[in-house]
Structure 1
């Protein structure tokens, strides 16, 4: 049978264990978000219903489950462009914003380890002398008694431990783990944004290259036209007005070419920064843009909640805020600190480690082991209100992020759908403007129209060609934007996060 003291100790230990398993955090439930059945701007065949169009892409509705650990894959390979592949590889290795995001992940992991350390006791050792003067009253001596100073040598091992009452430690660990998961999702968001920025900047740079090639061709044509006009002027067939107009058009084409070169230089500098290089160390060879065709399956709207890393980050922020509500609640309940020390103390160093000099202390050095807050002027209530308000804020931000994600997908889908129609109509416009230029040149040589009509026709051809180049660039940029809005590529693997150099090969583990 247990003695009375042993029985009470067992009961106390069981009570501490029960309270340690009790978390004050409310049950975490992912809030509902408004999710449509299908994307509104999804391209459909004539006469096909939205549901039928969506079934042609995927089979049926599925409940959204977070999948922020899904590797987004090298989605840019859909463009089959080896130059773009190389640029993406350089950006992944050297971009400083990506390295900063990876470092933030490492910080979050360290904070998780710090929070988990509170589950274990802290043990330390100390050695050294203390010099003290005791008052006569503390020794129950008359006031005028001379109490000599004394030196005490101590060598001891101390330990302290706070049981996880009311989930004070476990809720903090849970919040830290959610913060870590949020940091990892934000890393993937930065990574996806970087990949998309590199691709979009690359296509825009190639657009400028195509424009430069067009302006060179235009300048050459303007120079030939000026020679023709000057020869006719010298022959007395036309007046000086046509010569002045031809020279004006040539100078304008040259000035526009310089303007495009200026824009190209700024775009090249921006790309170099994305690659982690100073602009002086990066030169992109002139590569005119050619139209790209890449058809991206949009999938179900519900899958967007699984794939978008920014949505995953917002969801993890809610989980962290929910755990911190429990942490704020635990402040209203008792806190138990178990401390102790064992060692030796002696007035002389030579006698320190004798058996008779052993000493121990069980309990806090000051105060009491079990503390219960009674009055703090409303500080704990304010902290709890703040934690609940932060949870409400994160819920609203999560739902807003979901809405923004759907908007970005719809924008990209509508851009691509309407760009197809616009490019088709622009092809007709270009053919018509080229025909008008041919007719006006022939009629001018025959003296049927003025040179102003020729200039106007040439301007129309130039503008049509510039618009065609811009639309081709917009199509490529919008395709990248759709991939980014959908959350990246489709390959299944594990993502990798690191801080510097080889550490970028560390695998992210789901916690």
Structure 2
């Protein structure tokens, strides 16, 4: 064996390995993103007696993702179920998932040979020249009947097929994650609109009490004006306050109607046929304590992050598809059948025909087209990585926003509750002083107006806390369950979870 033969035998497998490595999709490496050890705004939950405890996780037997059941509200449960079944945006997202899965199936089909069958008939007449005869020689027309079984297969020499399959699978997984994100957003939107309606009902209840108080004030003031105890100024002021309170009530009715119509769209019902009963959000309504968990867990729970992750993986696989276009492609074709002048003779052994071929082709001069395709696919991966990182940063910020919102609203709520108590006492004292003739009507109006404002603010804060709680669940990616249990079971669970 000479030196050239040794070099050739050693270089051939090395060259083949280099070609395979060059065109295959690069190994996917998870991009790094700075993940904090804990949420800055996260606070430790405390039991009623002041001891710290952790919220128990849902058991495996409990349904996953039904986070809205933590509010223990049958009306909310029914609305979410109706929206999940009839929302058109969710139906469109499900259709996109089926499309993506079908595209992945099309890519998967390239892994196996493609087999087909063909039947046909052809009648033709050749010219004497085509038949190899002298000019002017008569040539009769002939009919040929054909039956063939064909097969074709692309040998995945340089990973084009496998990379294309990986990209299609990644796209399908990304679309599925997007559907879960649409579902989570739909559920959260339904819950927030529902609590918005209940908050508006509570506001309307507060304003209606103010309207009733103003009507009583106008009635009493009118009577005293007729008796000469008060001047026309006090009566005009009382009527002004009554009209203003009624105008506020009408404005709240418009807001409630708009919210109700928006909720109808979410549940997939015509606005004219949908009606949400009035259920004021009272002070006794208890919000669930939402465990924020660790920031690192957020990367696994948020469906939008999962979608961005799968998009990255698909973009990485498409680099392999683009690289494979620069290298040879091997196609194998085969066919067998029969060709005869009559139908009965097509399937005779003497009429058999067959073919077997292999074609190896690769581009030589393409003006840089394939190289540009590789650069484009690499840039698409860079874009997907940047979008993933941006999605992660937005997720962290949304959790911090809602945690901060709950903390601030809790402090505001405590202060406003104390303000409501003192405002009610002030209104009572002002009414007594006015009735005794020791206080002016302006002082009474001021105390009553202050009470109405504080009570309405308390109701609004209550609604904001409910909306922010739902917003936190949305930011955490859903999937948090608070299974319905009896009071005894809840007490036992808290006792076992106390630190």
1:442-471 CA deviation, whole Å, 9 max, x = no partner?
333344443222222211111111100000
1:10-66 CA deviation, whole Å, 9 max, x = no partner?
xxxxx99999999710001111111111111112599xxxxxxxx9869xxxxxxxx
User: Could you say which residue in structure 2 is the equivalent of 1:347?
Assistant: 341
Indicate the SS of the match to 1:152: strand
In 1: Cα distance, 2:45 partner to 2:278 partner: 39
Matched, 1:360 2:360: no
Matched, 1:298 2:292: yes
In 1: Cα distance, 2:63 partner to 2:183 partner: 11
Taking structure 1 as reference, are residues 491 and 461 closer, same or farther at Cα in structure 2, changes over 3 Å only? closer
User: Which of 220, 231, 254 is matched with 1:262 structurally?
Assistant: 254
Gaps of at least 5 residues in structure 2 are 1-14, 47-51, 56-61, 483-499
User: Could you say which residue in structure 1 is the equivalent of 2:59?
Assistant: none
User: Which of 59, 70, 94 is matched with 1:78 structurally?
Assistant: 70
Indicate the SS of the match to 2:399: helix
User: Could you say which residue in structure 1 is the equivalent of 2:94?
Assistant: 102
Report the CA distance between 1:74 and its aligned residue.
Answer: 1.2
In 1: Cα distance, 2:266 partner to 2:357 partner: 58
In 2: Cα distance, 1:386 partner to 1:281 partner: 51
1:96-144 CA deviation, whole Å, 9 max, x = no partner?
2122212221212111211111111111111121233435454444556
Report the CA distance between 1:439 and its aligned residue.
Answer: 2.8
In 2: Cα distance, 1:326 partner to 1:174 partner: 10
Taking structure 1 as reference, are residues 384 and 166 closer, same or farther at Cα in structure 2, changes over 3 Å only? same
User: Which of 380, 389, 392 is matched with 1:390 structurally?
Assistant: 380
Contact 1:272/1:278, CA 8 A, preserved across alignment: yes
1:379-417 CA deviation, whole Å, 9 max, x = no partner?
212221211111000000000000000000000100001
Answer with 93-102 or 143-152: which moved more.
143-152
In 1: Cα distance, 2:110 partner to 2:241 partner: 77
Report the CA distance between 1:146 and its aligned residue.
Answer: 5.2
User: Which of 460, 473, 498 is matched with 1:470 structurally?
Assistant: 460
1:160-190 CA deviation, whole Å, 9 max, x = no partner?
1111121111111111111111111111111
User: Which of 424, 441, 461 is matched with 1:434 structurally?
Assistant: 424
Gaps of at least 5 residues in structure 1 are 1-14, 47-54, 59-69, 493-511
User: Could you say which residue in structure 2 is the equivalent of 1:6?
Assistant: none
Matched, 1:202 2:188: no
Answer with 92-101 or 33-42: which moved more.
92-101
- So what's the TM-score if we normalise by structure 1? 0.84
User: Which of 210, 217, 221 is matched with 1:218 structurally?
Assistant: 210
Taking structure 1 as reference, are residues 56 and 166 closer, same or farther at Cα in structure 2, changes over 3 Å only? farther
Indicate the SS of the match to 2:159: helix
In 2: Cα distance, 1:428 partner to 1:387 partner: 61
Matched, 1:333 2:336: no
In 1: Cα distance, 2:291 partner to 2:348 partner: 80
In 2: Cα distance, 1:491 partner to 1:471 partner: 25
- So what's the TM-score if we normalise by structure 2? 0.86
Aligned residues: 457
In 2: Cα distance, 1:108 partner to 1:299 partner: 33
* 1:81-230 mapped onto 2 (5 Å cutoff): 81-142=73-134, 147-230=139-222
Matched, 1:318 2:312: yes
Matched, 1:459 2:449: yes
User: Could you say which residue in structure 1 is the equivalent of 2:487?
Assistant: none
In 2: Cα distance, 1:128 partner to 1:21 partner: 45
1:295-351 CA deviation, whole Å, 9 max, x = no partner?
111111100001111101100000000001100000001111111221111233343
Taking structure 1 as reference, are residues 404 and 317 closer, same or farther at Cα in structure 2, changes over 3 Å only? same
In 2: Cα distance, 1:71 partner to 1:107 partner: 28
User: Could you say which residue in structure 1 is the equivalent of 2:491?
Assistant: none
Contact 1:73/1:489, CA 8 A, preserved across alignment: yes
In 2: Cα distance, 1:154 partner to 1:490 partner: 65
Q: RMSD of aligned C-alpha atoms? A: 2.8
* 1:459-498 mapped onto 2 (5 Å cutoff): 459-490=449-480
Taking structure 1 as reference, are residues 363 and 139 closer, same or farther at Cα in structure 2, changes over 3 Å only? farther
Taking structure 1 as reference, are residues 211 and 45 closer, same or farther at Cα in structure 2, changes over 3 Å only? closer
User: Which of 238, 241, 246 is matched with 2:230 structurally?
Assistant: 238
